[in-house]
């Protein structure tokens, strides 16, 4: 069942988590159509035209977006808090998992032979100065590290990496690896292996003009690959840059019943409202079955376990029970003899501890909820149709962690795929997701991203420097709601942005 206040969609693919812009207000970036997109030219002229209800806080405007799991910040690591609903024993387990998450792996741990980062913390920044978490070599000397990510020097955001594939699909429906370099370009290596290549980012800019004459400069990235170690990419290679999203609330999202996600979709747009949100059907390696995707920019991973195990393997080269072979997902550039696969690098105990940590990260509390601008913005969010995809409220089902079970929470996502138009398209399918479809990401923590990580970058490739820019990049199913946003008076646009920033 769908709730469509304006029969529109506003799937803000923030932080990230594809990327051009029609001049002025001539439609979506990179697409066609009028700027109004269904909105009224000129929008709301002044505050006197605000409806009376706009100053009444809606039910979803609550401090504890994660329900009883939400936490206030302490120790300066707002994205590193445990869910407040954990038992004492679970809290101790969370702490043990944090040690695995924070660890900077070295070759003796199994790092490499090629990799993008040596620690989860290198990409998923949480307020810690990562340079202080020194890695020691066998002689006790500090090893200098670079931040994880393929685009050093002008990074669009933390943990930038480049996904690769060629047309077609693997036997399990996953993307078909690029023959030489596999599914991901690794830009670091443990000797004698060589880094596979480097990614350079350059930017072009274009201007969008609101009906009231206000202008906003948007930027579009171009990603070029240099210094390929084993020859050029295949002629038909497809690439997709990705930055690292925040990880809070993953356990709650995993606990939403599959039936609820399917019921929220309308894959054939049966009601004719222009919205065709649908689940991504993906392969679960642990159960050897096809199931609903929940995690990743295109919802390509079904569980926190598989998402975590894939990152350990693909980003760090750390084999584990889900991805036990060094050259799994790799191309011919990977030498299977370069790494001993007799035993996995990360044993089950440590993998399970990290997965528990990832599942039980608390959602930070929302802020400034008594600010009249935030209240007005929350109501405008629903009024113009943003909540059509950024579903305000979800409820978890049964869960092995009692504190995550049967919880009402407010992630502002439906976890479904939506076509976001050519402006954000990367042209690279992933399971059932097309090259222009993206999962609606949660909006919680969006307003904290810049102050916590040092990178205020949004959308999957980090092109948007502000929440406003991210909104203006929306097209496809979101074109009508983007038009309504542009047609608002400047005061009301500001209120909406203030609301999203408070989450």
- pLDDT tens, 404-439? 999 999 999 999 999 999 999 999 999 999 999 999
Asked whether the predicted pLDDT for residue 45 surpasses 80, the reply is no
pLDDT tens by residue, 124-137: 877 544 433 333 33
Q: Give the percent of the chain with pLDDT over 70.
A: 84
What is the reported pLDDT for 384?
95
Q: Do residues 445 and 248 lie in contact, with contact meaning Cβ atoms separated by under 8 Å?
A: yes
| Rounded Cα–Cα distance for residues 417 and 272 (Å) | 17
User: 19 pairs with which residues across the strands?
Assistant: none
What is the reported pLDDT for 69?
96
Q: Do residues 147 and 153 lie in contact, with contact meaning Cβ atoms separated by under 8 Å?
A: no
Where does 170-210 show beta strands of DSSP type E? 175-176, 184-185, 188-189, 198-209
| Rounded Cα–Cα distance for residues 65 and 363 (Å) | 7
The reported pTM is: 0.87
Residue with more model confidence, 452 or 351: 351
pLDDT tens by residue, 111-168: 999 999 999 988 887 754 443 333 333 333 333 334 444 433 356 777 899 999 999 9
| Rounded Cα–Cα distance for residues 338 and 347 (Å) | 20
Mapping DSSP to helix (H, G, I), strand (E, B) and coil, where does residue 308 land? helix
| Rounded Cα–Cα distance for residues 346 and 334 (Å) | 20
pLDDT tens by residue, 361-383: 999 999 999 999 999 999 999 99
Q: Give the percent of the chain with pLDDT over 90.
A: 72
Residue with more model confidence, 9 or 76: 76
Residue with more model confidence, 145 or 225: 225
What is the reported pLDDT for 155?
64
What is the reported pLDDT for 29?
65
Residue ranges of the domains in the chain? 47-502
Q: Mean pLDDT throughout 7-28?
A: 38
Report residue 257's pLDDT band, with 50, 70 and 90 as the boundaries.
Answer: very high
Report residue 74's pLDDT band, with 50, 70 and 90 as the boundaries.
Answer: low
What is the reported pLDDT for 3?
42
Q: Where are the alpha helices (DSSP H) in 234-367?
A: 250-254, 258-264, 304-316, 348-359
Question: Which of 362-371, 374-383, 444-453, 462-471 has the least mean pLDDT?
Answer: 444-453
Structure tokens given for 112: 């490499």
What is the reported pLDDT for 451?
81
Q: Mean pLDDT throughout 64-70?
A: 97
Residue with more model confidence, 16 or 302: 302
Q: Based on C-alpha coordinates, what's the Rg of the chain? A: 22
Asked whether the predicted pLDDT for residue 456 surpasses 60, the reply is yes
pLDDT tens by residue, 32-41: 433 333 333 3
| Rounded Cα–Cα distance for residues 297 and 312 (Å) | 17
| Rounded Cα–Cα distance for residues 435 and 457 (Å) | 21
Contacts of 351 (CB under 8 A, 6+ apart): 305, 308, 309, 312, 320, 321, 322
What is the reported pLDDT for 126?
72
């Amino acid at each position: 069942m769908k709730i469509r206040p304006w029969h529109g969609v506003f799937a803000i693919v923030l932080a990230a988590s594809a990327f051009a812009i029609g001049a002025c207000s001539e439609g979506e970036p990179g697409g066609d159509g009028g700027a109004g997109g269904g909105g009224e030219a000129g929008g709301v002229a002044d505050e006197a035209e605000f409806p009376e209800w706009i100053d009444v806080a809606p039910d979803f405007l609550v401090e504890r977006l994660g329900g009883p799991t939400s936490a206030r910040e302490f120790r300066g690591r707002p994205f590193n808090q445990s869910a407040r609903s954990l038992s004492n024993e679970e809290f101790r387990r969370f702490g043990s998992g944090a040690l695995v998450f924070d660890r900077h792996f070295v070759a003796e741990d199994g790092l490499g032979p090629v990799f993008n980062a040596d620690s989860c913390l290198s990409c998923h920044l949480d307020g810690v100065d990562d340079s202080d978490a020194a890695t020691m070599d066998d002689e006790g000397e500090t090893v200098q590290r670079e931040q994880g990510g393929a685009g050093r020097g002008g990074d669009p955001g933390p943990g930038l990496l480049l996904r690769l594939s060629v047309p077609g699909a693997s036997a399990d429906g996953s993307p078909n690896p690029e023959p030489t370099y596999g599914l991901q370009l690794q830009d670091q290596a443990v000797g004698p292996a060589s880094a596979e290549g480097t990614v350079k980012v350059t930017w072009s800019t274009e201007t969008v003009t609101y009906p009231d004459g206000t202008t906003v400069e948007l930027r579009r990235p171009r990603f070029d690959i240099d210094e390929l170690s084993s020859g050029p990419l295949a002629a038909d290679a497809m690439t997709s840059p990705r930055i690292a999203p925040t990880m809070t609330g993953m356990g709650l999202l995993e606990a939403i019943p599959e039936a609820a996600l399917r019921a929220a979709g309308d894959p054939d747009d049966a009601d004719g409202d222009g919205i065709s949100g649908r689940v991504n059907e993906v392969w679960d390696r642990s159960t050897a079955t096809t199931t609903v995707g929940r995690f990743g920019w295109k919802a390509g991973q079904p569980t926190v376990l598989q998402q975590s195990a894939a990152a350990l393997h693909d980003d760090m080269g750390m084999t584990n029970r889900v991805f036990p072979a060094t050259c799994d997902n790799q191309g011919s550039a990977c030498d299977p003899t370069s790494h001993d696969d007799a035993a996995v690098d990360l044993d089950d105990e440590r993998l399970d501890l990290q997965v528990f940590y990832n599942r039980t990260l608390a959602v930070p509390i929302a802020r400034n909820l008594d600010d009249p601008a935030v209240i007005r913005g929350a109501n405008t969010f629903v009024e113009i149709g943003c909540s059509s995809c950024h579903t305000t409220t979800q409820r978890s089902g049964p869960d092995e962690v009692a504190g995550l079970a049967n919880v009402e929470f407010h992630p502002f996502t439906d976890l479904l795929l939506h076509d976001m138009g050519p402006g954000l398209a990367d042209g690279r399918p992933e399971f059932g997701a097309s090259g222009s479809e993206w999962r609606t990401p949660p909006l919680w923590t969006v307003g904290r991203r810049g102050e916590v990580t040092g990178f205020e970058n949004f959308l999957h490739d980090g092109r948007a420097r502000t929440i406003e820019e991210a909104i203006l990049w929306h097209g496809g199913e979101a074109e009508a709601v983007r038009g309504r946003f542009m047609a608002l008076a400047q005061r009301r646009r500001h209120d909406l942005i203030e609301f999203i920033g408070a989450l």
